[in-house]
């Protein structure tokens, strides 16, 4: 799923959310992350997200964000990832909207490059010490 973002991860650009709705959504997200990841995992998530947020400065305003896509290792190589991207990328192209994503997985770079994404920033994420790449697909 792609979401239009401001330069802070998770904040929708141009969305007509009231402060009350934003607060409620933030609270629901925090509760969900705490439940799924546990306290330590949630704290790690917050540190990583806090680090990553300013690194998307190379992304143009209004770009759509590919949050998460995943294919089971047993199902890779069958075109499922491409199928998941196809409709959204076609819609973005039709609307002349750029898209971006972030990945910690080196093998994903070639996959996304085949779908028109280019590397615009590379960093070492300090919590995990892993390479972190921001990729952009222009409209």
Q: Quickly tell me which residue has 């615009």 as its tokens.
A: 120
The number of angstroms, rounded, from the C-alpha of 109 to the middle of its chain's C-alpha atoms is 14
3-state secondary structure of 5: strand
pLDDT of residue 137: 95
Question: Residue 53: is its pLDDT beyond 90?
Answer: no
- Structure tokens given for 105: 């997985």
pLDDT of residue 51: 73
Residue 9 — very low, low, confident or very high, per pLDDT cuts 50/70/90?
very low
Three-class DSSP category at 118: strand
Residue entry with tokens 């069958």: 78
Q: Which residue has the higher pLDDT, 14 or 99?
A: 99
3-state secondary structure of 109: helix
Backbone angles phi, psi at 4, to 5 degrees: -70, 130
Q: For 30-47, what is each residue's pLDDT tens digit? A: 899 899 889 998 888 888
| Among 115, 130, 111, residue whose Cα is nearest residue 52 | 130
Reported as a pLDDT band with limits 50, 70 and 90, residue 17 is low
In this prediction, residue 119 has a pLDDT band, given cuts at 50, 70 and 90, of: very high
Residue 75: which domain range?
2-137
Q: What is the pTM of this model?
A: 0.66
Query: CB of 135 within 8 A of CB of 120?
Result: yes
CATH number at residue 51: 3.40.630.30
Q: How many domains does the chain have?
A: 1
What is the structure's pLDDT at 120? 92
**Which tens digit of pLDDT belongs to each residue from 55-109?**
677 788 888 888 777 888 898 888 888 898 898 899 999 999 999 998 888 889 9
């Amino acid at each position: 799923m792609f979401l239009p973002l401001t330069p802070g991860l998770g904040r929708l650009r141009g969305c007509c959310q009231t402060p009350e709705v934003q607060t409620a959504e933030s609270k629901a997200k925090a509760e969900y992350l705490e439940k799924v990841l546990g306290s330590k995992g949630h704290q790690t998530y917050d540190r990583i997200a806090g680090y990553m947020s300013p690194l998307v400065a190379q992304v143009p305003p209004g770009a759509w964000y590919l949050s998460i896509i995943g294919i089971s290792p047993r199902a890779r190589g069958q075109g499922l990832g491409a199928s998941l991207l196809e409709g959204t990328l076609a819609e973005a192209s039709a609307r002349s909207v750029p898209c971006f994503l972030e990945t910690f997985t080196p093998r994903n770079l070639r996959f996304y490059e085949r779908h028109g994404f280019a590397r615009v920033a590379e960093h070492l994420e300090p919590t995990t010490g892993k390479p972190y790449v921001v990729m952009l697909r222009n409209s």
